[in-house]
Amino acid sequence: MTSPHPDNVIDGRAIAACVLGELGQRIAELKKRSAQPGLAFVRVGDDPASKVYVGRKEKTCGELGIFSETKVLPNDTPERDLLALIDTLNSDERLHGILVQAPLPAHISEARVYSSVMPQKDVDGFHPVNVGKLMLGDAGGFRPCTPAGILELLARSNIRTQGAEAVILGRGNIVGKPMAAMLCQKGKNANATVTLCHSATRDIRSHCLRADILIAAIGAAEFVKADMVKPGAAVIDVGVNRVNGKLVGDVDFAAVQKLAGKITPNPGGVGPMTIAMLMHNTVTAAERFHGMTH
């Protein structure tokens, strides 16, 4: 049961539960055809955070009735061995999605690894084909889970994107760049005017103060202060930073909440949506494989 939320706090856990509930219906339809969505997780090394993240995803698969299996390789695994494993998973018809958990050890090229996953099984949305489809506005690809989850949060919280000034802090390949591409598309729950800020941006505060929608994915603990936020703006906090053993976001939540129109908590905001959208992509991949369109 979710805890009560003040009126302007977006309950990511509740919205994720709605998304997963809808997926349950689609999984039931697949099972009528004797089909079960399947998802493979690949971890390299013993990164504690990666273990936790994969554990949560496995748990959600189990609750939904998605088949999952996890492959764990030692930290010193040669890149060629990881690529060989991915090749095996690509040809396994029980699996409709493959997720390679970041970070990977320094001696392994993330770009090569992500490019080796078949685009049809790339439920993370990192393969160049899916990145290209996203840029072109082609709905036939897979969208990265965190920005796709943020779009769902905005839509289901009745935050208008049409014509809105959206400012994104951070230009990473996982959140910032794809988020900008999604928000500026011509279509429903998009059509925003997007500014992408980063470490070389002059006077970030002035950009933030224009934002109707402010998305912080900059990786700096409590970077966004109250004097950087326009009253009534929607503030989405993607950051995960560890400070003195405590996890904090990129937004100074206590101060910003007082003037935001809507704000995501951290935890309990974007995180649950990322997992929900991974499940969404996996179910969609299974439907496509079995000739069912959704």
Q: Which positions are catalytic?
A: 57, 101, 124
DSSP 22-51: HHHHHHHHHHHTT---EEEEEEES--HHHH
Report the distance separating Cα 142 and Cα 129, nearest Å. 9
From the list 204, 291, 276, the residue with the least C-alpha distance to 14 is 276
Helix or strand or coil: residue 214?
strand
Cα–Cα separations (whole angstroms), residue 145 to 75, 84, 99, 114: 26, 25, 11, 15
Report the distance separating Cα 193 and Cα 214, nearest Å. 12
Which residues sit opposite 41 in a β-bridge? 70, 99
What the block records as the tokens of 281 is 């992509």
Q: What angle do CA 144, 270, 229 make, to 5 degrees?
A: 110
Using only C-alpha atoms, the chain has a radius of gyration, in whole angstroms, of 19
